[in-house]
Every structure is written in structure tokens, then in C-alpha cells.
A and B are shown apart, each in its own frame.
Chain A
Amino acid sequence: MSGIVVEHLGKSFVLRDGKRFVALDDVSLTAADGEFCCLVGPSGCGKSTVLNIIASLVTPDSGSIRFSSGAGKTRIGYVFQKSRLLPWKSVRDNLALALAGAGVRRDEFASRIQHYLAMMGLERFAGEYPAALSGGMQQRVAIARAIAIEPDILLMDEPFGALDEFTARAARRHLLRIWEETHKTILFVTHNAFEAAYMADRVMLFTAHPGRLVRTVTVDVPRSERAIDEPRLLAVQKEILATLGLE
């Protein structure tokens, strides 16, 4: 378990025509231990970049990241925007490689894989190659992989973006149930304002060019009262859209 403190992140990229492009401009945010945070904003505002910096795949030009997990290395599970499975490995082996990387004991592999695939409704497909699965199923395998290593922090980059509305609804309920059981710290990127209101404790709103965190909205609706037609959630959705200038 771990909280995250991100302070004054700056990141710019040099484009091929030589111009500098500011992807992140002085972004500071925190996520408390066990908090569910959503990052919402238009395409290109730097949401994936924030997650990549936290996962240390991208080094920021300025600013710092701290994890409040205390002793030891903070374990991060990442669901990428695209599933990023190894196409030449079966679903089972894709999970097994992540477990090996996380230092899980080999005799625990089978039961863990079984458990987390079942959680995503995929236990029948353990022996298949990713090519035999639909896009949505591949994304669920990627989610299973990220959760199976039982991370301190879960980074999710539009994990349900590729799913149809039916599957997405089931997946959202699923994720919330897992989160309520385990209370991992989750940073969840989405384009979908209602999804953010429905899932999050707090929603962080970004604007693009340059990428800035403009506002944080706290969703003050108890979990037990969150239905998809709950007026208070619809109000939060409206507020998000208004802040982003979409309504």
C-alpha cells in the first residue's frame, strides 16, 4: 500500500521539426493511500505522460515523485492504453512472466493466475494466445496481469476505452469490487466524465497545450449510493464537462 505525492512536474518534448512541445507544465497532485483518483482531460493533455513518469518509464525535466509506502520498493501495476501482451506467449504465460518479475514464488503461480483470470471472467482462455482473443478480452488480460502482481499502486490508462458499454459497465463494477476488497491506490485515466464521477474519490481535470492540472473535484457520494442514475453523480459529470469547456 502506498500513497503518491507528485510535485511540480514539468516535461517537454522536442518535436521532429525542432519545436519544443510542453506536455506537462508544473503539475502537482497527491493520491492518498487507498484512494481512487481519476485523471480526465482532452487528448494530448499529458495524462499518459503523468502515469509514465510515475512508472519511471519517462524522466521528467523537473519535479519529483514520492511514494509513502515506507520501507521497500513500491510495486506498480500498469494497465497500458494498449494491452501490450506478448503475442507469442499464452495468456497464462503472460501473467506468469509478470509474477516472476514481481518475485512471486513459483508454486503460487498456478493458483494466482487461476484466481485473477477468473476474476476477469477469462479462466477458460488461459491456454490461448492473445491473437485468439477479442480486443476487449485482451484488455481484461492486461488488467488481470496488473492486479495479479498485487501492486501497491495501480496505474490504469483508459482501461475500458476499448470495451463496449455493456462490458465496460460490468468491468467498472468489477474493478470497484476489487478495489473495495483490497483498497489499492489507483490512478485511473479516462475520457469519460461520467465514468470518472462514478468511479473516483477525486477527479483531477487537465487541459492541453500546455498540459496543466486545472482543478480537482471531490466526489462526495458514498459508495453505497452510487447508481448510474444518481443525480449527484450526474451533477459531478456536469461540473467536469463545464470545467473542461464542453458544456
Chain B
Amino acid sequence: MALQLLTIRLLSVVSMFLIWAVISWFLPPMLMPNPWVVAHRLWQLCLNGQFWFHAYGTVSRVVIGFALAFIVSIGLGVAMGLRRGVAVMFEAYVLVGLTVPGLCWSVLAIMWFGITEFAPVFAIFVVVLPMLTLNMWQGTKSLDKDLMEMSRTFNFSRRSVLFDVILPQLLPFCLAGARLGFALGWKVVVLSELFGLTSGVGYMINRAFSNYSMADVLAWTLGFTLIMFVLEYVIFLPVERSLVRWRTAAAT
């Protein structure tokens, strides 16, 4: 079974490259270079260090902006789920935040804060926060009332209610939020980099665009996609597995 799934997973990745290869067959290399050309370009960028330098800049901005939003969203979302008043107070903020496009925040951040490291972090924070808050709010509303009553009857300490009863129920929501938040953060950061910064993957893609180098544009995109894959398989999936261990207890 595990082997079968692995085969399918491989097939899914290989098929993406195949589709790409077939399309590049019919189009001139200026519009769609084939995967080998792009992979080779990415390899060169890795060797001369450019890729690592700019990817580091981009990833660190996303991580900081996301981490700040994540911490705030847990406090805010849980408070909204537990207290009706807090929910009514911040409901409108969340809705407005969800509606304003990331592009607007990227532009605003650069107009306010100039070409600084703070601008992209701020933009990511503001764009990701409403989505994460909504997620934690939903999670808190779905807390099991029966278990809360049980913890009261057996006199659990506040600390224990939080760590042993509430947080384990919120962890799946945290994980889903982290995945979505990261994906969203990456979309926002390249915009900021494209508009105003002088480093980062977005900046380099913009430069490649000015030179009209399709191979470069795709090489940077491919490189960043690979980083996202690594994050998924090295961080998110293992965390998810360890979270649901108790659910699969019966099977093992």
C-alpha cells in the first residue's frame, strides 16, 4: 500500500514535467523553454550562489511575517471563539482584511515604510493575519463542549485546560493555518520584492522579466516551488503525522 502510494506520488510529479515538456515542444523557447533548460539554469544559479542569497531573503521575510501573524492569530482567534463580545468587535476587521487584495498592502507598505526590510514583513503580516484569525476562530468555536464540562467537573487547573484540553483540539487548525498562511505569504512577498526591494526571488523574477529571459523567470519559480516542497515534506507532513498519532492508535 505504502509503495503503491509512493508510485502514484512519483507519477504525479513526473507527469507535471511531462506536460511541461510536451507544451514546450510546440512553443518557441522564448515563450516556453523545456524543463531541462530551466533546470540547468536553476543549477547554475545555485552554483554561483545567487539562488541561495535571494531565496534566503525571501524565505526569511515570509517566516518572520508569518510567525508574527500566527502568534497574534492564536490569541485573537481563541478570544473571539470564547468571548462573544470580542468576536463582534473584530468580526468586521477580519472581513475587511480578507477582502483587501494583497497587492494593495504591498504597495501601501512600501509607500509608508520605503525600501526597508520592514515593508514586506508588514505586508505579509497584514495579509495573512485575517485568514489565520478566521481559522483559529472557527477552531475555537468547534471545541468539544462535553470535554470542557468534563474538565470543569474534575477540577482541571487553568493551565491544564489550556494545554491538555483546548490546544490539542486546535492543533489541526494551527497546521492547516500554517500551510495556507505560508502559501499566501509567498504570494505577497514576491509582490513587495517586485515593487520596491532590491533583493529576493520576486526582485530577480522582475529582472528576468526586464531582460525578457523566460528561462530565468521559470528557473526562479521552479526553485521556489522546490523550497515549498521541502518545507511540506520536512516540516508539515511529519508534524501532521505526530499530531494524529492518537487517532490511529487503534490501527497500529
Hey, which bits of chain A sit against chain B, CB under 8 A? 55, 57, 76, 78, 80, 82, 84, 86-89, 97-98, 100-103, 128-132, 145, 149
Contacts and interface: CB of A to CB of B under 8 A. Distances in A.
A84 B249 contact: no
B246 A82 contact: no
A75 to B, nearest CB: 8
A78 B168 contact: no
Given A88-B246, A131-B246, A132-B249, A97 B164 contact: yes
Nearest to B169: A88
B155 A101 contact: yes
B147 A84 contact: yes
A88 B246 CA distance: 5
B199 to A, nearest CB: 43
Contacts of B165: 86
Given A98-B154, A102-B154, A128-B249, A89 B146 contact: no
B247 to A, nearest CB: 6
Contact of A88 (B146, B150, B168): B168
Contact of B150 (A80, A102, A132): A80
B241 to A, nearest CB: 14
Interface in B238-252: 245-250
B153 to A, nearest CB: 5
B246 A129 contact: yes
A102 B151 CA distance: 11
Contacts of B147: 84, 86
B156 interface: yes
A86 B249 contact: no
Given A80-B146, A84-B147, A97-B160, A57 B246 contact: no
Interface of B: 146-147, 149-157, 160, 164-165, 168, 245-250
Contact of B249 (A76, A98, A131): A131
Given A97-B154, A101-B154, A131 B160 contact: no
Contacts of A102: 154-155
Contacts of A100: 156-157, 160
B164 A84 contact: no
A55 B168 CA distance: 25
A100 B159 CA distance: 12
B155 to A, nearest CB: 4
Given A97-B154, A100-B157, A101-B160, A82 B249 contact: no
> Which of A78, A87, A88, A100 neighbours the largest number of chain B CB atoms within 10 Å of its CB?
A88
15 contacts: A57-B152, A76-B153, A80-B146, A80-B150, A82-B146, A84-B146, A86-B168, A97-B156, A101-B154, A101-B160, A129-B249, A129-B250, A130-B249, A131-B247, A149-B154
B152 A89 contact: no
A199 to B, nearest CB: 22
Contacts of B156: 97, 100-101
A11 B152 CA distance: 21
B146 A78 contact: no
Given A100-B157, A149-B154, 13 more contacts: A57-B152, A78-B153, A80-B150, A84-B146, A88-B246, A98-B154, A101-B155, A101-B160, A102-B154, A102-B155, A129-B250, A131-B247, A131-B248
Nearest to A87: B246
